Amino acid sequence: MRQSRLFLTTLREVPADAEVISHQLMLRAGLMRQLTSGVYELLPLGWRVLYKIEQIVREEMDRAGAQEVLLPTIQPLELWERSGRSEDYGPLMFRLTDRHERAMVLGPTHEEVITSLVQQEIHSYRQLPVILYQIQTKFRDEPRPRAGLLRGREFRMKDAYSFDLDEAGLDRSYRAMFEAYCRIFDRIGVRYRAVDADPGAIGGEGGTHEFMVLSDAGEDTIAGCTSCDYAANIEKAAGQALPRADATATPAPQTVPTPGTRTIEDLVRVLNVDAGQIIKVVVYVADGQPVAACLRGDHEVNEVKLKNHLGVRTLELATPEQVLQWTGKPVGFVGPQCGLRVVFDRDIWSVTDGVVASDTPDAHDIHVVPGRDFPVGETADIRNVREGDACPKCGGSLRFYRGIEVGHVFKLGTKYSKVFGAVYQDENGQERTIIMGCYGLGTTRVIQAVIEQCHDADGIIWPMAIAPYHVHIVPVNTADPAQQQTAEALYEQLRSRGVEVLLDDRDERPGVKFKDADLIGLPLRITVGRKAGDGVVELKERATGQVSELTLEQAVAQIVERVNPSR
């Protein structure tokens, strides 16, 4: 492509309403423009990236045995009323009425449509299993669209649905989709994690995973192992229990006055101890009843874990008034023997020389040992993991990552097949309900997630597999016949070898051209300068900035090699 003909305008200024870097770069590098809030036009460079991402997705879905279909955007509201999701979605769903006053929606997702289709087409066990997928535009009327394609109102997704005879079949389909997702993100060339989003499914076959592109700009915190593939959302991550420590040398407890100490930091300062020695008690209201959580001062209560352990619907912090009323002590002076139901974190056993609130007012007891100086009863893992905790799978070290969710695989079971009567007859003529899974991947979202991870101060750094073009040829001075001829010759040679080339044939200053090239971020750049007359050009790698001077033949050979590495 000749840049002089390309439908492209780059922007020098950062657009005022774009906060995240990927949104800014999408606009500045001329990949897209905004039509209206949360709705974007993809321009030629942006469309080429999306097309390549969707092609990788398509190839890997097909390889995994899924079959492509195309379902309608417009769906009768009636389907959504049958599933009960019309209410769940509420104003998030774009609704419209046709000329016959029939209520319709613009599909935010397609479980209803696909299940009603399969209900009509599938009747026998011989027709199963089947996995269907589509790549389509979805609509969500977000209250606050932001961050460009990361939270837009119109976006593209690949959504797949599996239909199986039984749970074992669902496990196979789920595994096939999970592996296809790994291949997709490997091929795109982005760092990602498959995050276990299922509480209490460590090691086993989880019921749902989120695929996260790692980026500091991500909204979600992930605890991931540095040695194996274990990763989980912070709400769900579990480490291994800390070793139970030997406290035989700890002297007898002693009471010391600590007036006015309300926080862990106060105690650390006044008593000159580590936060990890302090045994704190946090009082909650669980389904209306008081419950205390007891854990180390340097650990945080994980309210999801506590809630699951208690099996309650609601859990909130008690007010200072409630704490005083129930324990007779102000906040900060409640100990494990407070008379309430106490749930101990299992790592309370790692404390060898502890500090607890004393029965004496305005005082704490030091040299306290759990089990020796107070009874430890009901115990569970009720805390957030910390960096450095041991991985539950391999014992390696956990660390925190930020991530942007780009895909989700999910075992649905019979939720939709029951509602829509999607059944089959088994070998014995018995009617059975089809078991489903669903597998989403936001293809427009991936573009921006990749940019969040792959950019620097000058612009985007595209991975080769999804770059809008592979190579940018930049003649420094288009008025110089030698440079012009060399650039043209390279352009033709590379294109004839299947390389996608953008040739900057504009009559612009070199500085402008180089700035644009860095902003657009093609993986390789050839600069055709003064040495063009000697048959020498410069090859620059966008990601590393590495520059080498090469003959034309060498340049062509290296580029072909990089673009098409032997598989």
Which residues form the interface with Zn ion (CB under 5 A)?
A: 225, 227-228, 230, 391, 393-394, 396
Q: Which is nearer to Zn ion, 104 or 394 (CB)?
A: 394
Do the Cβ atoms of 547 and 538 come closer than 8 Å? yes
> Closest approach of Cβ 229 to Zn ion, in Å?
7
Closest distance of CB 182 from Zn ion, Å: 17
CB of 389 to Zn ion, least distance (A): 11
What is the nearest approach in angstroms of Zn ion to the Cβ of residue 92? 37
At closest approach, how far in Å is the CB of 392 from Zn ion? 8
Find out whether 391 and 228 touch, Cβ atoms under 8 Å: yes
Q: Say which residues have a Cβ less than 8 Å from residue 350's Cβ, sequence separation at least 6.
A: 242, 243, 244, 245, 276, 296
Nearer to Zn ion (CB atom), residue 202 or residue 376: 202
Nearer Cβ to Zn ion, position 39 or 228? 228
Cα–Cα distance for residue pair 256/273, rounded to 1 Å: 13
Residues near 131 by Cβ (< 8 Å), separated by ≥ 6?
A: 64, 65, 66, 67, 160, 161, 162, 163, 173, 176, 177
Percent of the chain that is helix, strand, coil (3-state, to 5): 30, 30, 40
Can you say whether the dihedral through the CA atoms of 199, 130, 176, 185 is positive or negative? Answer: negative
| 147 φψ region: left (φ > 0), alpha (ψ -120 to 50), beta (else) | left
Minimum CB distance to Zn ion, residue 225 (Å): 3
CA 482 to CA 493: how far, in whole Å? 16
Which of 79, 406, 394 lies closest to 214, judged by CA? 406
- For Zn ion, the closer CB: 239 or 290: 239
Phi, psi at residue 489, to the nearest 5°? -65, -45
Nearer to Zn ion, 398 or 422 (CB): 398
CB of 390 to Zn ion, least distance (A): 8
- Rg from Cα positions in the chain: 30
Tokens of 40: 């974007």
Nearer to Zn ion, 202 or 256 (CB): 202
* Least distance between Zn ion and beta carbon 226 (Å): 8
Complex with Zn ion: residue 157 or 398, whichever CB lies closer = 398
The β-bridge partners of 378 are none
Q: Which amino acid is at 110?
A: H
- Least Å distance between CB 233 and Zn ion? 16
* Cα 299 from chain centre: 25
Least distance (Å) between residue 205 CB and Zn ion: 17
Please, are residues 407 and 210 in contact by the beta-carbon 8 Å criterion?
yes
Which among 157, 129, 121, 138 has a CA at the least distance from the CA of 66?
A: 129
Phi, psi of 508 (to 5 degrees): -125, 165
Q: What angle do CA 252, 254, 257 make, to 5 degrees?
A: 170
* Nearest to Zn ion of 66, 197 (CB atom): 197
CB of 396 to Zn ion, least distance (A): 4
Q: In the bound complex, what is the minimum distance in angstroms from residue 176's beta carbon to Zn ion? A: 24
Q: How far is the CB of 394 from Zn ion (least distance, A)?
A: 3
Number of residues that make up the chain: 567
Among candidates 158, 193, 163, 195, which has minimal Cα distance to 61?
158
Evaluate whether 365 touches 354 at the Cβ level (below 8 Å): no
Q: Which is nearer to Zn ion, 395 or 498 (CB)?
A: 395
Residue among 92 and 228 whose Cβ is closer to Zn ion: 228
C-alpha span between 352 and 266 (Å, rounded)? 21
Q: Which is nearer to Zn ion, 82 or 393 (CB)?
A: 393
Locate 345 and state its tokens: 């974190």
Nearer to Zn ion, 386 or 562 (CB): 386
> What torsion, rounded to 10 degrees, do the Cα atoms 286, 291, 294, 298 define?
40
Q: Which two tokens stand for residue 406?
A: 């780009």
CB of residue 397 to Zn ion, shortest distance in Å:
8
CA–CA separation, 329 vs 137, rounded Å? 58
Phi, psi at 520, each rounded to 5°: -70, -35
3 state SS of 58? helix
Closer to Zn ion at the Cβ: 390 or 560? Answer: 390
Closer CB to Zn ion, 64 or 391, in the complex? 391
